[in-house]
Amino acid sequence: MKKNISAKLIKEFSKQSKNDALLRLARNTTVRNDIEDLAIDWDIYRKIDHTFSEIVSGEMPVTNQKSSGRCWGFAGLNLLRIYLGRKYNLKNFEFSQSYFMFWDKLEKSNYFLENIITTVNEPRNGRLLMHLVSNPIQDGGQWHMFINLIHKYGVVPKSEMPETFQSSKSMRMNRMITRKLREFAITLRNASKNGAILEELRLLKTKMLETVYRLLTIHLGNPPKSFDWQIRDKKKNFIRFEDITPKIFYNEHVALNLNEYVCLINCPMSDKKYNEIYTVEYLGNVSDGEIIRYLNLPSKRLKETTVASIKDDNPVWFGCDVGKHFHRNLGVMDIDLFDFELFYGTDFPMTKADRLEYGDSQMTHAMLFTGVDLDSKNNPRKWRVENSWGNKRSNKGYDIMTDKWFDEYNYEVVVHKQFLTDAEIEIYKRKPIKLPPWDPMGALAK
Q: Dihedral sign, CA of 150, 152, 155, 158?
A: negative
Residues of the chain with pLDDT > 90, as a percent, come to 99
pLDDT of amino acid 408: 98
Whether 267 is catalytic is no
The count of residues in the chain is 446
Q: Where are the beta strands (DSSP E) in 250-328?
A: 261-265, 276-280, 294-296, 316-320, 326-327
CATH 3.90.70.10 fits 54-445, yes or no: yes
Q: Using alpha carbons, list the distances in angstroms from residue 246 to 154, 156, 233, 304.
A: 5, 5, 21, 35
Confidence check: pLDDT of 1 > 80: no
pLDDT digits (tens, 9 = 90+) for 327-368: 999 999 999 999 999 999 999 999 999 999 999 999 999 999
Identity of the amino acid at 416? H
User: Strands 238-244 and 326-327, how do they pair?
Assistant: unpaired
User: Strands 398-402 and 332-333, how do they pair?
Assistant: parallel
Tell me the angle at which helices 97-118 and 127-134 cross, rounded to the nearest 10 degrees. Answer: 160
Q: For residues 256 and 244, is the Cβ–Cβ distance under 8 A?
A: no
Cβ within 8 Å of residue 260, ≥6 positions away: 416, 417, 418
Cα dihedral 316/321/325/327 (nearest 10):
70
Whether 71 is catalytic is yes
- Rounded distance, CA 173 to CA 179, Å? 10
Q: DSSP letters along 58-74, please?
A: T-----B--BS--HHHH
pLDDT of amino acid 232: 97
Q: DSSP letters along 273-287, please?
A: -SSEEEEETT--SST
For the chain, give every domain's residue range: 54-445
Q: For residue 64, what pLDDT band results from cuts at 50, 70 and 90? A: very high
pLDDT of amino acid 350: 98
- Rounded distance, CA 378 to CA 382, Å? 12
pLDDT of amino acid 2: 80
Confidence check: pLDDT of 392 > 90: yes
pLDDT of amino acid 389: 98
Catalytic residue among 64, 285, 296, 387: 387
- The 3-class SS string of 7-23 reads HHHHHHHHHHHHCCHHH
pLDDT of amino acid 182: 98
For the residues 279-299, what does the mean pLDDT come to?
Answer: 97
Residues of the chain with pLDDT > 70, as a percent, come to 100
Q: Coil, strand or helix: which one is 269?
A: coil
What is the pLDDT of the chain when averaged over all its residues? Answer: 97
DSSP lists the bridge partners of residue 410 as 320
Q: For residue 83, what pLDDT band results from cuts at 50, 70 and 90? A: very high
Flag whether the pTM goes above 0.95: yes
Q: For residue 446, what pLDDT band results from cuts at 50, 70 and 90? A: confident
Q: Using alpha carbons, list the distances in angstroms from residue 72 to 16, 140, 405.
A: 47, 7, 20
pLDDT of amino acid 417: 98
User: Strands 410-416 and 294-296, how do they pair?
Assistant: unpaired
Whether 28 is catalytic is no
- Rounded distance, CA 262 to CA 235, Å? 36
Q: Establish how many alpha carbons lie within 13 A of residue 299's alpha carbon, considering only the half-sphere containing its beta carbon.
A: 16
User: Strands 276-280 and 433-435, how do they pair?
Assistant: parallel
Q: For residue 139, what pLDDT band results from cuts at 50, 70 and 90? A: very high
- Core vs surface per residue 166-177: b (16+ CB within 10 A) or e: bbeebeebbeeb
Catalytic residue among 296, 327, 365, 410: 365
For the residues 110-123, what does the mean pLDDT come to?
Answer: 98
Number of neighbours of residue 443 by Cβ within 10 angstroms: 19
pLDDT of amino acid 247: 98
For the residues 52-59, what does the mean pLDDT come to?
Answer: 98
- Rounded distance, CA 107 to CA 147, Å? 13
Q: For residues 234 and 89, is the Cβ–Cβ distance under 8 A?
A: yes
Q: Using alpha carbons, list the distances in angstroms from residue 437 to 127, 283, 354.
A: 10, 7, 20
pLDDT digits (tens, 9 = 90+) for 183-202: 999 999 999 999 999 999 99
H or E element that contains 342: helix 340-344
For the residues 83-111, what does the mean pLDDT come to?
Answer: 98
Cβ within 8 Å of residue 23, ≥6 positions away: 17, 345
Catalytic residue among 64, 71, 266, 267: 71
Confidence check: pLDDT of 176 > 80: yes
